[in-house]
Amino acid sequence: MDNRRPPYQQVADALRAAIRDGLYAVGDRLPTVAELAEQYGVAKMTVQRALADLRAEDLIVSWQGRGTFVRSRSGETDAASTTVHDEIMKRLDSMHDELARLDERLRRLEGGPAS
């Protein structure tokens, strides 16, 4: 490891490179914090800090009890996430339109002015 940079940055850089180079593909589970600490010869807290940086960059996602997984490669958009986001937005728009129609019907039933 390079002594000029903080160890957590060096671990984050190494993991970024491994993701970029395909060692860890989108959806792959990363080794545990303990395994990464042993692999890089650093403290667990150092690995946790490196993983926090990668989470902030949306490269990885962690779930309690399940592990840490590659979310996307640096500079790439996760197509599945984009598709899910688009579908959610369409459904929200549809719900908004339906609520507006129901609001209009309720006003008419209550004898209020139509909008």
Q: pTM surpassing 0.85? A: no
Domains and CATH numbers, the chain: 7-70 (1.10.10.10), 77-115 (no CATH)
Query: Residue 79's pLDDT is what?
Result: 58
pLDDT in tens, the chain (115 residues): 667 899 999 999 999 999 999 999 988 999 999 999 999 999 999 999 999 999 999 899 998 889 999 987 654 555 556 666 667 777 888 888 899 999 999 999 998 766 6
CB 27 within 8 A of CB 68: no
Separation between Cα atoms, residue 4 and residue 95, nearest integer Å:
54
Q: At what angle do helices 33-40 and 44-56 cross, to 10 degrees?
A: 110
Separation between Cα atoms, residue 87 and residue 91, nearest integer Å:
6
Q: At what angle do helices 7-20 and 44-56 cross, to 10 degrees?
A: 50
In sequence order, what DSSP letters do the residues of 91-111 get, joined into one string?
HHHHHHHHHHHHHHHHHHHTT
